Structure 1
Amino acid sequence: MGELSTLFAPERVAVVGASNEEGTVGYAITKNLRDDFDGTVVPVNPNRDSVLGVDCYESVGAAVAIDVAIVVVPPPIAVGVVREAAEAGIKDIVVITAGFSEAGSEGSERERELVELAEEYDLNLVGPNSLGIMSTAVGLNATFGPRSGTPGDISFMSQSGAFITAVLDWAADRDIGFKDVVSLGNKAVLGESDFAREWGEDDGTDVILGYLEDIGDGQSFIQTAREVTQETPIVAVKSGRTEAGASAAASHTGAIAGSDAAYEAGLDQAGVLRVETVQQLFDFASILSGQPLPDTDGVAIISNAGGPGVMATDAVGDSELRLADFSDETLDRLQDFLPSEANIYNPVDIIGDAPIGRFEEAIDIVLDDDNVGMAIVLSCPTATLSFEELADVTINLQEKHETPIAATLMGGSSTETAAQRLSEAGIPNYFDPDRAVSSLEALSRYAEISSREHTKPTTFDIDRDRIQEILTSAAESGRTQLGVESMELLDACGIETPHASVVDNPRDAQDLAADIEGEVVMKIVSPDITHKSDIGGVEVGVTTDEVPDTYEDLVVRARNYQPDANILGVQVQEMVDLDSGTETIVGVTRDPQFGPLVMFGLGGIFVEIMEDTSFRVAPVTEDDSREMVDEVQSSPLLYGARGREPADVDAIVETIQRISQLVTEFPAITELDMNPVVATPDGATAIDFRLTLDAEAVQTQEES
């Protein structure tokens, strides 16, 4: 165990606010501790001589050698109690009391005082507004929930106390056991990263589960979880998939990202298996805690029922797994042993009259095949088979071959004893074949996660001074929206752009066009007009002679669209042959929890319609960037689909990394779009550009 070991294995626990009055939180917590705790319970209440037959102390400071203090007093005095406990040398404190940041400005001030106390006295503080904590290893139930957890090897944290009480009740009926349980509450001090780190060092925790509504420090959580998941899997439900607030974003990236994309990307980069339901949460936990990791993603299905076998096969086809291809030796052995009516190919159907001996031999043969990384043993009730015998055979063969197995015994009460035996041996049983496949997929995904090698992002040579000058100049002039007039920023970042300049009159526009070989592109330049194409603010293929009239037309269209728009001029830009390339987008939006969120996808005017995009939390590595490119459905266009010449994917990958470095080093950039970035066989060129700036952050960075 790590820094929080005493929190979960105390010898003396004080309940400050202990009560004899049934129906109160102080009574419930004291009783729960008195019922099961291996150590000593110390009630603290100045208005009582004793609680539940135990002598009371007048104050927590008067108690002796307290390891953990549970604070259950009214909000106005809770902070004082925490201070008194800290001054008495108590390092581990659980604040059950509500009425802090969730209760307005006065509560927020109380919570700020708690944080200051924790920093001053180096406290491990859970809560406030917490249901409490549990550790079945020492019988610790310091919660006001109605029941304790069944002992096991799962540790569970939740931002919802009600969710904990429901899960413990649900899990008890399914023989799912827990090591430690924590109600995070408001996470004023200790949060998800702290408990993930603690349980990652705990030999008694095989799987970490979480119900999360938000993550306080996304970057810290990614770093912590990456280390933890090398040895211990983390599975989490992240609620709140809403896209509220996305409509207010100024860029394509912000409009597409919503509020959930950062969590999706961040949890994946952290190595956390994200699930959507409680059923999945514990399905995955059961197989991760009980089964070895697979060597390959090939799944074998052995069944005595054709229909359910097909269902399992369909589920494998819908997953990222694959049906294992049996070796010729395996096929020969199965053919020699099984009846002629049986199917020797995967899925193996040993037909409905199969006795236990036929099941045993078929499973043994299949698991002996090196192409099989995982197996599903699937059975429906028959008069020729005992589920209990099948469970025993499955357990023995799993131990013999050390191949992960998920059982699917499709029945009711007739499966209960067999399922219990399987569970005790670490083999999960699922009535639905789809759940079995989903769980094996999670096992396979975790095998990949635990073997990841996390490389450092590449640091490119960029002109930081020039970038800072451009941002500072914009901020000082009151501009928070930068567009093509600031394309020099991309040049300073090492990103290829066409030859272009912004001019404020038709004559200069024509002179500039004359210096550019061939036809040009002309774009209205205004920080107040986000989507120039929508208002006719872009003209392509303009000859030198047409430039003056085109200039005037663009300005008139802009004025008609928005009379009060700030028109900075017109950009005259070298044309890029779009027919020889593919339009992509590289963008960034800044998430309040995770920081810069980098996007890549299909670009041009259809980006918000198609939403063929991928995301990563910055800083991104070369591997991250390459995965982003490969994840979008349109990626075959970049690799030469339908006879197209392949684009320079390496240039795209480098462009993504350079933008990641830019927004990581310059936090004043809150949103950024390069759309399109035209990917050709010869490179990647940013054609258009938009950036949103936090002027105050520019000043702060310049001063630092």
Structure 2
Amino acid sequence: MGRLSTLFAPDRVAVVGASDEPGSVGRAVTGHLVEDFRGEVLAVNPNRETVLELVCHDSLSALPAPGEVDVAVVLVPPELAVEAVREAGEVGIGNVVVVTAGFSEAGSEGAARERELAAAAEEFDLNLVGPNSLGVMSTPSGLNATFAPTSPDPGSISFMSQSGAFVTAVLDWAAERHLGFKDVVSLGNKAVLDESDFVREWGEDPDTDVVLGYLEDVADGRRFVEVASEVTRETPVVVVKSGRTEAGATAAASHTGAMAGSDRAYGAGLDAAGVVRVDTVEELFDAAAVLSGQPLPDRSAVAIVTNAGGPGVMTTDAVGDTDLGLASLTDGTRETLREDLPGGANIHNPVDIIGDAPVERFERALDTVLADPNVGMAVVLACPTATLSFDDLAAAAVDLQAEHGVPMAAVLMGGASTRSAAATLSEAGVPSYFDPARAVDSLETLAEYADIREREVAEPATFDVDRERARAVLDRARDRDTTRLGVEAMELLDAYGIPTPAGAVVDDPAEAVAVAEETGGEVVMKVVSPDILHKSDIGGVEVGVPVGEVRDVYETLVARARRYQPDATVLGVQVQELLDVSAGTETIVGINRDPQFGPLVLFGLGGVFVEVFEDTAVRLAPVAEREARAMTEGIEAAPLLRGARGRDPVDLDGLVEVIGRLSQLATDFPAIEELDINPVVATAEGATAVDLRLTLDLEAL
């Protein structure tokens, strides 16, 4: 265990605000500790002589040997709580749990008090949980320093929650399902200790098999990714994430900002951390049960053994709805099944041993299937019949799973008659369900975590770029006090080696003609104004302009911009080589800077389709080559890039390099808040950035 070991395994706990008043928080916390804690409980309350037969002390400093107290649980009003935390630090108590509410969740005055708490914790190097916390629990030591109504059963799951009410509900829910816990923490306001601290602690804890979390936000996204990505190589972390930040909800300055908002950022961050993300409480504990009870598969091929054809088909459909696949049974397996099963049975996957099967037939078929080298996981599914005992089947399934070491989930499609069998399976670590889809989903969670464990850590490539040239582009924007840039910043892409069409931004018609003549053909012309974002909407873009018409088109574009917005800053007109867009696929590559996780990189189908389909993939920057390639393969439109319906395959290596170079730009310049390159035209010959829009934080320059 790490630096929080004495928080979860203390010898002495002091309760500041201990009480025996019925219905009070002080009574609940003190009562739990007196009843269950295996160490010494000390009561602090200057207004009482005794509480629950404990002698009361006036303060922490008045305790006998206060420096030997491991944990102080603070229950007093907020203004006194700050004093108690400081006193804990002064007498040498290393861990403080502040249950008291009335801090940052209660307005500016409470926020100021919370800053005082954090300052005291920093001064004395305290491990501080809360404030506004339900408390902490640890079953090995009998520690229940909470006001929850019940204590959890012992187990190997450690659980953190940003909601105290969620903790109480989950403990009650889990007790019915025979799920036990090692440690439980209500994070509260996370003034000092946050989710990263507990993930790190439990990753070092040999008695924690699975870490679960309910999170509404992450205090420091980059730190969380760094910590969790180390922990998840050995210990699975499963999280329910709720809530959306204001930044994510309002980010609409660019397509990338709108589509890589808060929830997408959390998705990218949790993925980078190797965290399994689920959407519901049921999924959270399904994941916990299977990850704590079953071995990881060596392949994602599922075998189904059932006594009912219809539910077997349902299970097959459920497999088809996931990233798993049905196992192809070997010839030897099918031959053995043919010999052992009656004539009406199905010896192919799903294996249907038909409805009159006794447990012995189930056992033989399951034994044969689990021995097949092509089978990575199995679902054993049974409906009630007069010839089958669920209890006997559960016992056989437990033995066979242990013998073969193949991960298994059971589906017992019955009611009261399945309860004893379900308990037998649960005690052996085999999850069981009524719904076949849940069984399959739990196996998919195993496969997902197996993939996480096998990930190779790849370092992002470092490209040879001209940072000074790029900085000069951004400095010019700062000098003009401009936060939004368009095609006038294409030089930024050139500086980072991202291919762009030949052309330039000019501020008079004669220069426009000269640039057009250099391109040697028809050109695209766009009015350049940081105040006009959607230039095509106001007629600010002309495509396929012959050299002889360039001068007149220049004047027309500027006039349209002045007429649309008289006070707009017009920097000139971009004259650009005309690309044959129809010969390629329009994609988008973008940057969005998230307040929790920092820069994100987005890739997807571009052009006008980006608004219609929102077919995109998001990763944290910097993006390694392997991740960039996965982004190009992970969108629904990936077949277009590979050459669907007779189209030439695009240069995926070129696209991957554009993603990598833009990722480097995002990490090199924190002042870039959002950036769209839309479209990036991908052809068989390469990828070319045609248009640009970006937003700057001038204070960061």
Shorter-chain TM-score range: over 0.9
Q: Take 2:313 and 2:146, find their aligned partners in 1: how far apart are those partners?
A: 46
Matched, 1:38 2:41: no
Amino acid at match of 1:28: A
- Match of residue 669 from structure 1: 672
Q: Which secondary structure state, in structure 1, belongs to the residue aligned with residue 525 of structure 2?
A: strand
The alpha carbon displacement at 1:465 in A equals 1.7
The alpha carbon displacement at 1:577 in A equals 1.9
**Cα pair 2:129 2:190 within 8 Å, conserved:** yes
Match of 1:142 among 127, 138, 145: 145
What pairs up with 1:382-531 in 2 under 5 angstroms? 382-531=385-534
Q: Take 2:418 and 2:84, find their aligned partners in 1: how far apart are those partners?
A: 53
The alpha carbon displacement at 1:463 in A equals 1.4
- Percentage of identical aligned residues: 66
- The CA deviation string for residues 134-167 of structure 1, in whole angstroms up to 9 with x for no partner, is 0011110000111111111110000000000011
What pairs up with 1:91-490 in 2 under 5 angstroms? 91-240=94-243, 246-490=249-493
**Cα pair 1:243 1:258 within 8 Å, conserved:** no
Q: Take 1:469 and 1:483, find their aligned partners in 2: how far apart are those partners?
A: 15
- The CA deviation string for residues 311-370 of structure 1, in whole angstroms up to 9 with x for no partner, is 101100111101100001111111111000111111011011001110000001101100
Match of 2:595 among 580, 592, 603: 592
Q: Take 1:472 and 1:126, find their aligned partners in 2: how far apart are those partners?
A: 44
**Cα pair 1:406 1:436 within 8 Å, conserved:** yes
Residues 243 and 642 (structure 1), Cα distance of their counterparts in 2 relative to 1, 3 Å cut:
farther
TM-score, structure 2 length as denominator? 0.98
**Cα pair 1:127 1:185 within 8 Å, conserved:** yes
Amino acid at match of 1:105: S
- Match of residue 5 from structure 2: 5
The alpha carbon displacement at 1:393 in A equals 0.6
The alpha carbon displacement at 1:560 in A equals 3.1
**Cα pair 2:338 2:347 within 8 Å, conserved:** yes
- Match of residue 618 from structure 1: 621
**Cα pair 2:247 2:595 within 8 Å, conserved:** no
- The CA deviation string for residues 597-637 of structure 1, in whole angstroms up to 9 with x for no partner, is 11000111221111011101111111111111101111112
- Match of residue 702 from structure 1: none
What pairs up with 1:628-667 in 2 under 5 angstroms? 628-667=631-670
The alpha carbon displacement at 1:24 in A equals 1.5
Q: Take 2:246 and 2:443, find their aligned partners in 1: how far apart are those partners?
A: 31
Q: Which secondary structure state, in structure 1, belongs to the residue aligned with residue 262 of structure 2?
A: coil
The alpha carbon displacement at 1:53 in A equals 0.6
**Cα pair 2:460 2:623 within 8 Å, conserved:** yes
Amino acid at match of 1:340: G
Amino acid at match of 2:365: A
**Cα pair 2:159 2:212 within 8 Å, conserved:** yes
- Match of residue 75 from structure 2: 72
Deviates more, 1:656-665 or 1:463-472: 463-472
The alpha carbon displacement at 1:556 in A equals 2.5
Matched, 1:18 2:21: no
Q: Take 1:606 and 1:404, find their aligned partners in 2: how far apart are those partners?
A: 43
- Match of residue 551 from structure 1: 554
**Cα pair 1:233 1:288 within 8 Å, conserved:** yes
Q: Take 2:291 and 2:411, find their aligned partners in 1: how far apart are those partners?
A: 17
- The CA deviation string for residues 26-54 of structure 1, in whole angstroms up to 9 with x for no partner, is 11110111110000111111111111110
Q: Which secondary structure state, in structure 1, belongs to the residue aligned with residue 60 of structure 2?
A: coil
- The CA deviation string for residues 217-266 of structure 1, in whole angstroms up to 9 with x for no partner, is 11111111111111111111101258885455211111222321001111
Residues 159 and 123 (structure 1), Cα distance of their counterparts in 2 relative to 1, 3 Å cut:
same
Residues 245 and 424 (structure 1), Cα distance of their counterparts in 2 relative to 1, 3 Å cut:
closer
Q: Take 1:468 and 1:507, find their aligned partners in 2: how far apart are those partners?
A: 29
Q: Take 2:506 and 2:475, find their aligned partners in 1: how far apart are those partners?
A: 21
Q: Take 2:150 and 2:239, find their aligned partners in 1: how far apart are those partners?
A: 23
How much is the aligned-residue C-alpha RMSD, in angstroms? 1.2
The alpha carbon displacement at 1:175 in A equals 1.0
Q: Take 1:447 and 1:245, find their aligned partners in 2: how far apart are those partners?
A: 31
Q: Take 1:606 and 1:408, find their aligned partners in 2: how far apart are those partners?
A: 43
**Cα pair 1:246 1:257 within 8 Å, conserved:** no
Q: How many residues end up aligned between the 2 structures?
A: 698
Q: Take 1:631 and 1:198, find their aligned partners in 2: how far apart are those partners?
A: 34
**Cα pair 1:671 1:692 within 8 Å, conserved:** yes
Amino acid at match of 1:691: L
Q: Which secondary structure state, in structure 2, belongs to the residue aligned with residue 563 of structure 1?
A: coil
**Cα pair 2:7 2:70 within 8 Å, conserved:** yes
- Match of residue 695 from structure 2: 692
- Match of residue 701 from structure 1: none
The alpha carbon displacement at 1:665 in A equals 1.6
Amino acid at match of 1:108: A
Q: Which secondary structure state, in structure 2, belongs to the residue aligned with residue 670 of structure 1?
A: strand
Residues 534 and 256 (structure 1), Cα distance of their counterparts in 2 relative to 1, 3 Å cut:
farther
Q: Take 1:472 and 1:95, find their aligned partners in 2: how far apart are those partners?
A: 48
Deviates more, 1:458-467 or 1:93-102: 458-467
Q: Which secondary structure state, in structure 1, belongs to the residue aligned with residue 155 of structure 2?
A: strand
Deviates more, 1:113-122 or 1:397-406: 113-122
Amino acid at match of 1:13: V
Amino acid at match of 1:446: Y
- Match of residue 612 from structure 2: 609
Amino acid at match of 2:467: R
Q: Take 1:90 and 1:248, find their aligned partners in 2: how far apart are those partners?
A: 44
The alpha carbon displacement at 1:538 in A equals 1.2
Q: Take 1:335 and 1:420, find their aligned partners in 2: how far apart are those partners?
A: 33
Amino acid at match of 1:320: D
Q: Take 1:323 and 1:170, find their aligned partners in 2: how far apart are those partners?
A: 33
**Cα pair 2:303 2:349 within 8 Å, conserved:** yes
Q: Take 2:377 and 2:345, find their aligned partners in 1: how far apart are those partners?
A: 21
- The CA deviation string for residues 545-564 of structure 1, in whole angstroms up to 9 with x for no partner, is 11112112212322333232
- Match of residue 27 from structure 2: 27
Q: Take 1:248 and 1:188, find their aligned partners in 2: how far apart are those partners?
A: 27
Amino acid at match of 1:54: L
Residues 125 and 247 (structure 1), Cα distance of their counterparts in 2 relative to 1, 3 Å cut:
closer
**Cα pair 1:256 1:608 within 8 Å, conserved:** no
**Cα pair 1:246 1:254 within 8 Å, conserved:** no
Q: Take 1:661 and 1:245, find their aligned partners in 2: how far apart are those partners?
A: 23
**Cα pair 2:200 2:231 within 8 Å, conserved:** yes
Amino acid at match of 1:43: A
Structure 1 stretches lacking a partner, 5+ long? 699-704
**Cα pair 2:261 2:594 within 8 Å, conserved:** no
Q: Which secondary structure state, in structure 2, belongs to the residue aligned with residue 515 of structure 1?
A: helix
Residues 187 and 424 (structure 1), Cα distance of their counterparts in 2 relative to 1, 3 Å cut:
same
